[in-house]
Structure 1
């Protein structure tokens, strides 16, 4: 067994060279040229002066040694002690460092391609600019290790401990970091395309400006991580946890983010266009100026979120929870808001167009039995279980309708504004009923307005009643023989409806009552028709 005296390190090179095996013996040491297992080379100074290629150095002590630019490729250092060893620029191609101790080791620019580093300990080591392509670092400990600008393409880091490790600008494309521990690690600006980070712990990690295109983040734990300005297109994110993460300026276009948790995240200026956000949690998130163009947002929770200036054009927001959200200045061009909950939301200065579907909004009805796209009227929906809203909820919903009506009016979309006005009045009617019951005067008055005039804007409702009044009256006139022929009875009914019944009046009391009824309500309906036609121009 070869050892050196730590007090005679200047002589160690000569001693080692004299003690090394002859060529004849080396041929018997296959697969290694030399067997130096257990050698003690502590504090040895071998800088660029010795070749240890294809040598077995298992369980050897090379701590504090200077092996700068020494060739160790194809060697076996399993279980070796290399703590605080200088291996900068060393050739470590296909070297086996499994279970070795490299704590505090200095390995900048070391060539470690295809190296076996499973279960190795690198705490506080320097691997900056090291070449580690296809290296096996499974379960390795790399806490506080400097891996800045290192090349780790296709490396295996599954289960590795990288707590507070520095990996800025590192190339980890295609690497396997599944189940890796990366808490508080700095991975900013790193190239992470096609990387496997499934079930990795990235709490408080810095991934700002990293390229994660085609990465697998399924089940990853990312609370409070910095993902600002990252590229996350075509990423697998199922079951990942982003609570409290900073995703400002991040690109998540076309991503499948359904059923995920983004509560309390920072997402200002983020790109979520064409993303699937169905049933995703964005509660309390900051998303000012975020882009949701063409995104699927049905059932998404945006409660208490800041969405000011957000772009929801062509997005499907049906059933989304936007309660207490700040939507000021948001763009809803061609967006679908049917079934969305907008109670207490800030809807100032919205942008809408003719393709915007403004309702009906969520009104507390049983969504399991009837959905927002149903053709049934609110009255029929009531039969399916009623609303859970109280008076305050109806007031908030009516205010949301009012704000939407104002937005449509501002863009000259009169027909859309009329439809929203009807829904606003209907919500107010429900509010009155919630306060005073079905006998409340305000509720009954609103109900009559709805039935006969469509809340003062729908001609159709009144025309139906006018035709019914005229038709029924004419039939009765013909039945009792007010005039001898059907045509004359029709003419009599027209005059009774529009002006006054012509003489002679029918002799029977019942017919006279019908004439009075038609004349009164015919005149009233004509007045109401004028009111509706004039009122419609307000919207």
Structure 2
């Protein structure tokens, strides 16, 4: 098929079915709105091609060069894109479904509003130029490289990230739900207003990270490194932080309700105005920590180390304190009279006649 025949078919809205365009020079062509199925575009030269709003189903673009291509709102379904080059391409609003992007190159690509669903991006280079409101679902990213990418309002769900070479960059208002980030080095990273609900971060390094208003509800964070992290108003309800290193961390106004903090080290940490109701803090260390206005009501603090901690209106209403080490009890509210009266009133209201 000649270039003229190809352009004529696309201008007339005719689909391209099982056409062989392997290695063809299609650079700069306007193929916007094209409907392709089973088309062979392996090693095709497609730099600066216009495929805006195109639909490609079951097509092969392995090793194709789409550098600088306009792929806005294009749809790739079950396509082979292994080794394809998308450097500086406009992929905003593009959708990739069940496609193979193994080893693909996306240096400087604009992926804002794009979506990757059940794809393989193993060993891909994902140094996106712009990454706003991108979505990744159940996608394989083993060996992928992500350097100095600034992500905002992105959603990554049910994906394994622990083998991603993620260096530098930041995240603002991103969602990482049910993802695997075990052992990842995210030290010093800015991850503000992000959601890590139900994700696995065992052994991850978040030391010196900025986690302001981020949510780790129900996350598995055993042995996580949070030393010197900053996380004002961060949320850790029902998270498992057994053995976590939180030395020197600053978490004022944070929420830890129902979290497991057994053996965690909060030496010299700042937890002022934080809610730690019903936390399990057996053998945890809060030595020289700032706990002003913190609330440990109903917490398990047995055998914990609170020596040198700063207490000021620190609530420990009905907390278990057997074996706990304290330098002094001044500043501790061991029985919250207001709460006690409210509980008595509530019990009387529910008591059967």
**2:72 matches 1:59:** no
Contact 1:332 1:356 in 2 (8 A): yes
Q: What is the match of residue 296 of structure 1?
A: 275
Matches of 2:146 and 2:157, distance apart in 1: 17
Secondary structure, in 3 states, of the residue corresponding to 1:57? strand
**Structure 2 CA distance for aligned equivalents of residues 99 and 246 of structure 1:** 40
Query: Which of 232, 235, 238 matches 1:259?
Result: 238
Q: CA deviation at 1:36?
A: 3.5
Q: CA RMSD in A?
A: 3.0
Q: Which runs of 5+ in 1 are unaligned?
A: 3-15, 361-371, 375-539
Match of 2:51 in 1: 72
1:45: Cα distance to partner? 4.7
1:230 maps to what in 2? 209
Counterparts of 1:149 and 1:342 in 2: how far apart (Å)? Answer: 54
2:17 aligns with 37
C-alpha separation in 2, matches of 1:323 and 1:142 = 47
Gaps of 5+ in 2: 342-353
Q: Say if 1:325 and 1:149 are closer, same or farther in 2 by CA, change over 3 A.
A: farther
Bigger share in strand: 2
Give distance in 1, aligned partners of 2:130 and 2:182: 23
In the TM superposition, what are the counterparts of 1:325-340 in structure 2 within 5 Å? 325-337=304-316, 339-340=319-320
Equivalent-residue separation in structure 2 for 1:21 and 1:154 (angstroms): 33
Provide the C-alpha distance between the structure 2 equivalents of 1:65 and 1:308, rounded to a whole number of angstroms. Answer: 64
Of the three residues 43, 57, 65, the one matched with 1:86 is 65
Instruction: Give distance in 1, aligned partners of 2:10 and 2:233.
Output: 60
Q: Note the C-alpha offset of 1:263.
A: 0.9
Say whether the 8 Å CA contact 1:311–1:330 is kept in structure 2: yes
Tell me what 1:517 maps to: none
Of stretches 106-115 and 273-282 in structure 1, the one that deviates more from structure 2 is 273-282
CA offsets 1:429-479 (integer angstroms, 9 cap, x no match): xxxxxxxxxxxxxxxxxxxxxxxxxxxxxxxxxxxxxxxxxxxxxxxxxxx
Q: How far is 1:138 from its partner?
A: 1.9
In the alignment, what sits opposite 1:309?
288
Q: Out of 154, 167, 183, which is 1:175 matched to?
A: 154
**Partner residue of 1:392?**
none
Name the residue aligned to 1:17. 3
Question: In 1, Cα distance between the equivalents of 2:159 and 2:88?
Answer: 24
Distance 2:163 2:240 in 1: 20
In the other structure, the counterpart of 1:355 is 331
Map of 1:145 onto structure 2: 124
How much has 1:49 moved relative to structure 2? 5.2
Aligned CA distance change for structure 1 residues 373 and 26 (closer, same or farther; 3 Å) = closer
1: CA distance, partners of 2:23 / 2:245:
50
Deviation at 1:292, TM superposition (A): 0.8
Instruction: Name the structure 2 match of 1:433.
Output: none
Is the alpha carbon distance of 1:91 and 1:332 closer, same or farther for their aligned partners in structure 2, counting shifts above 3 Å?
same
Alpha-carbon offset, residue 291 of structure 1:
1.0
Change (3 A) 1:21 1:331: closer
Distance 2:96 2:143 in 1: 19
Tell me whether 1:286 sits opposite 2:286 in the alignment: no
Task: Please tell me whether the aligned partners of residues 58 and 77 of structure 1 are also in contact (alpha carbons under 8 angstroms).
Answer: yes
Question: What per-residue deviation string (whole Å, max 9, x for no partner) do you get for residues 195-249 of structure 1?
Answer: 2322223223344444443333222222222333333333343322212222233
For 1:115, the equivalent position in structure 2 comes to: 94
CA-to-aligned-CA distance 1:9-59 (integer Å, 9 cap, x gap) = xxxxxxx3354454xx655x32x5xx443232333455x454433333322
Structure 1 window deviating more from structure 2 (307-316 vs 121-130): it is 307-316
CA separation in 2, counterparts of 1:239 and 1:228? 20
Give 1:326 shift: 4.4
Whole-Å separation in 2 of the counterparts to 1:254 and 1:292: 10
Higher relative contact order (CA 8 A, sep 6+): 2
Distance, in Å, in 2 between the alignment partners of 1:219 and 1:280 is 13
Q: Which has the higher helix share?
A: 1
- Structure 2 CA distance for aligned equivalents of residues 74 and 318 of structure 1: 57
Q: 2:220 aligns with which of 236, 241, 254?
A: 241
Pairwise CA distance, 1:344 = 6.3
Equivalenced residues, count: 337
Against the structure 1 CA distance between its residues 184 and 325, is the aligned structure 2 distance closer, same or farther, given a 3 Å change threshold?
farther
Pairwise CA distance, 1:141: 1.9
Matches within 5 A, 1:397-436: none
CA distance change for structure 1 residues 330 and 192 in 2, over 3 Å: closer, same or farther?
Answer: same
Q: Which has the larger radius of gyration?
A: 1
- TM-score (normalised: structure 2): 0.82
The change in CA–CA distance for 1:105 and 1:326 in structure 2 (over 3 A counts) is farther
Q: Deviations over 1:117-137 (max 9, x none)?
A: 122211222212210111121
